[in-house]
């Protein structure tokens, strides 16, 4: 009888090993935007708005969006020129073949002071608060 139980035990082991009822998980879907954003972040870019002098700042109509390969329209956003240069260099190496939507048209034209970059307390800004303060 031991032989019969032995064969039955072997049959059960083989059957359970061949059982295909284990839940299958779908392979994780790649999120190329998240992968590019992580790669951009891992490249240790300079802070987007950090500055030491007015020369470190510029005012840009478009800036990198959530996808570091694609721009979003901001009309007039003060940013670090070092950040924007690092972004341009990174894009040359990492964004070949990436299709981006066309940036939206800019919004209403801001006051001319919005296009004058300046460094205020270590952060790129524009000159509008100087105009406001001077007119009081």
Q: Does the pTM exceed 0.85?
A: no
pLDDT at 46 over 90: yes
DSSP letters for the chain: -HHHHHHHHHHHHHHHHH---SPP-PPPPP-HHHHHHHHHHHT-PPPTTB-SSGGGEEEEEEEE-SSTTSEEEEEEEEEEHHHHHHHHHHHHHH-TT---PPPPPP-SPPPGGGGSEEEETTEEEESHHHHHHHT-
- pLDDT tens for each residue of 49-104: 999 999 999 999 999 999 999 999 998 999 999 999 999 999 999 999 999 999 88
The pLDDT value recorded for residue 133 is 56
pLDDT at 8 over 60: no
pLDDT at 6 over 50: no
- pLDDT tens for each residue of 116-128: 999 999 999 999 9
């Amino acid at each position: 009888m031991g032989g019969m139980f032995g064969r039955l035990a072997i049959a059960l082991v083989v059957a359970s090993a061949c059982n295909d009822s284990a839940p299958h998980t779908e392979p994780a879907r790649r999120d190329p935007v998240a992968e590019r954003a992580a790669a951009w972040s891992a490249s240790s870019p300079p802070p987007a708005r950090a500055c030491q002098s007015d020369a470190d700042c510029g005012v840009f109509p478009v800036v990198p969006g959530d996808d570091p390969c694609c721009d979003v329209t901001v009309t007039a956003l003060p940013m670090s020129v070092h950040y924007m240069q690092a972004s341009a260099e990174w894009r040359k190496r990492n964004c070949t073949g990436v299709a981006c939507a066309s940036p939206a048209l800019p919004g209403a034209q801001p006051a001319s002071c919005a296009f004058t970059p300046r460094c205020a307390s270590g952060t790129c800004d524009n000159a509008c608060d100087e105009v406001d303060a001077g007119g009081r």
